[in-house]
Amino acid sequence: MTQYPDTFSAFGLPAALLTALAEVGYETPSPIQAECIPILLEGKDLLGEAQTGTGKTAAFALPMLARLDLAQRQPQVLVLTPTRELAIQVAEAFQKYAHCLPGFHVLPIYGGQSMVVQLRGLQRGAHIVVGTPGRVMDHLERKSLQLGQLRAIVLDEADEMLRMGFIDDVEWILEHTPNERQTALFSATMPEQIRRVAHRYLRAPREVKIRAATTTVSSITQRYWSVRGIDKLDALTRILEAENDFDAAIVFVRTKLATEELAQKLEARGYAVAALNGDMTQGLRERVIEQLKNGGLDIVVATDVAARGIDVPRISHVINYDIPYDTEAYVHRIGRTGRAGRSGTAILFVAPREIRMLRAIERATRQTIEPIRLPTRADLADRRIAQFKQQVQEVLAEESLDFFRNVVEQLEDADEIPLQDIAAALAFLAQRERPLQLSVDDYPDEPAHPPAREKPARENRGEILERRRAFSDGKLARYWIGLGRQHGVMPKEIVGALANEGGIEGRSIGQINLFDRFSIVELPANLAAGTLDQLKRIKIRQQALGLRPFVEKDEAHQTPRTRRPGSGQGEAATRKEYGDRPAQGREFKGKKTFAKTFSEPKKRR
Ligand code: ADP
Ligand code: MG
């Protein structure tokens, strides 16, 4: 195995970037980052091949930011991405890493967003522009985008741009940028046509390929849960509660910060859990592992690095809460279970955009990974009732109950309460902290059918023109939605909901502005009454959109917070997905009561 630097500071990145990385909690460079950052820092051209989710964005964003001249306000770096979602996402990533660079500006430009906004942004000046090929060509033709000072161009997801028919546009753009620029091309696969483009436009590129590791892991059952509808934290606790052969688990997340946040939330829900990350001293880490071994802890939430090589035979489950960067990391992770001749279970949480990584993992482990449905409310209730009955029987068999019989008799005699009622009241008291009847609010149903895969808005020249015409013809109108920043909603969720559940084509969804209590979205002006009605009822995070045509007075009493993809709000919103919801009344108050004993999250054997 290649020896990679295991800190970002080893690259000699500016302090401002290292501070930002510490803030986002990246512990070590991923393999693609480890290989690409030094090459790009030297100003060399690069051809990088690695799967989705391996951290390619930071692999180019960090060296680009390191070499930026902040005093120069004309674009120095241009990043081309196949879809507008990606353009926004990449711009957000730049913003996050440049958090400590004063005056830094990154501008996403893509079809579907109002031209006026983009022209204004370009006039104001941006150090880095991230755009879809069509819209970038548009601006180059109008001369609103000037690339005279351009030093580097990055083609992100080149194979996807090829697949979507943008490759001619990309070549056109390459021909209209200064010759002496640095060029980096990233792709998940390297089809012949991409290679051809690379040979033609890259100068003696260094090639980096992160290979998928191949192994077999036969003693481990692998399953995955497709992340949708229900928050990951809730899903995790349901799964933990319903697993039959659960003994102990390692839960993998991507950042140090996430280890702590998730450990805290699980603790609040009654689990014996601790975080394990590279910030902890060696002594502390050893103590955590020791406690996991001897049963003092049942769950450890860890980063890849911190958990490397852990050998604790009682680990029955590995939960991939965040998908790993590469198949090799996955294999390392799940190897923490199924040890010493035992069997183990690995569960992977997969978001729609991570499906490709799932397939790569299947190939690497030479196993199909079966999807699971979350245990339903009824499943959990049945289980709890069965456990409750069993515990009552155990107490009857094992404890001496004379004193308590006496108390019950007093109740029965003095107040003439039938024994059955007394027993029912006691059962009620005993289950309070871990209810036998589960409410829909706490345990919502998983959507029955997976929503149609979120289609990225594709655009081509024709569509751009069509859309531009639509704007100027007034075919698009503004609509009001009763969800805003306060509700933690993200623009991409709104797009996703309108597209998947409302059947509105991604390309006819215009700009989205988030306000505190509501949002404004641009949609076709001529929506049929039926469609409007349907859109009104669509829910995000279990709250109805309440969509209706926008009237000017709506805006009067609130300062607009136009969604600027650079505003860094994506991060906060992402954190929301990890379940910031307070654990309603389910925290244990620390006192040892019967209820607390009963609610022990698992049976020890
Ligand atoms: P790709 O472009 O290869 O699909 P991304 O750049 O989108 O991958 O990164 C995927 C996820 O991994 C993002 O959420 C990103 O914040 C996270 N990530 C990237 N690099 C690191 C790192 N070194 N440590 C922790 N998380 C990282
Ligand atoms: Mg990417």
**pLDDT tens for residues 478-494?**
888 888 877 778 877 88
Mutate-to-test residue for ligand 1 from 62, 254, 304, 356, highest number of ligand atoms within 8 A of CB? 254
Ligand 1 atom nearest residue 54's Cα:
3
The dihedral sign for the CA sequence 398, 403, 409, 414:
negative
pLDDT computed for residue 26 by the predictor: 87
| Kind and range of the H or E run holding 220 | strand 220-226
Q: Check pocket membership of 52 for ligand 1, CB cut-off 6 A.
A: yes
Query: For residue 43, what are its two tokens?
Result: 């100003």
Decide: 53 in ligand 1 pocket, CB within 6 A: yes
Contact 59, 48 (CB under 8 A): yes
Q: CB of 26 closer than 6 A to ligand 1?
A: yes
Burial (Cβ within 10 Å: 0-12, 13-18, ≥19) of residue 592: exposed
Cβ within 8 Å of residue 162, ≥6 positions away: 191, 193, 194
pLDDT for the residue 492: 79
All residues at 6 or more sequence positions from 560 whose CB lies less than 8 Å from its CB, including other chains: 513, 515
Handedness of CA 420, 425, 430, 431 (dihedral sign): positive
Query: Which residues are within 8 A (CB) of 195 and not within 5 positions of it... i.e. 6 or more apart?
Result: none
Do the beta carbons of residue 110 and residue 87 sit within 8 Å?
yes
The beta strand positions in 351-402, using DSSP E, are 370-371
Return the pLDDT at 154: 98
Half-sphere exposure of 216 (CA within 13 A, CB side): 2
For a mutational test of ligand 1's pocket, the pick from 4, 13, 26, i.e. the residue with the most ligand atoms closer than 8 A to its C-beta, is: 26
Question: How many other CB atoms are there within 10 angstroms of residue 495's CB atom?
Answer: 23
Residue 187 Cβ inside 6 Å of ligand 1? The answer reads no
Ligand 1 mutation pick, 325, 326, 350, 578, max ligand atoms within 8 A of CB: 325
- Ligand 2 centroid vs 9 CA: distance in angstroms? 23
Ligand 1 centroid–CA 93 distance in Å is 9
End-to-end CA distance of the chain: 39
Is 478 in contact with 520 (CB distance < 8 Å)?
yes
Decide: 422 and 51 in contact? Cβ < 8 Å. Answer: no
Which residue ranges in the chain fall short of pLDDT 70? 1-4, 212-218, 309, 340-341, 447-474, 552-605
Neighbours of 532 (CB within 10 A): 15
CA distance 598 to 270: 11
3-state class of 510 per DSSP?
Answer: coil
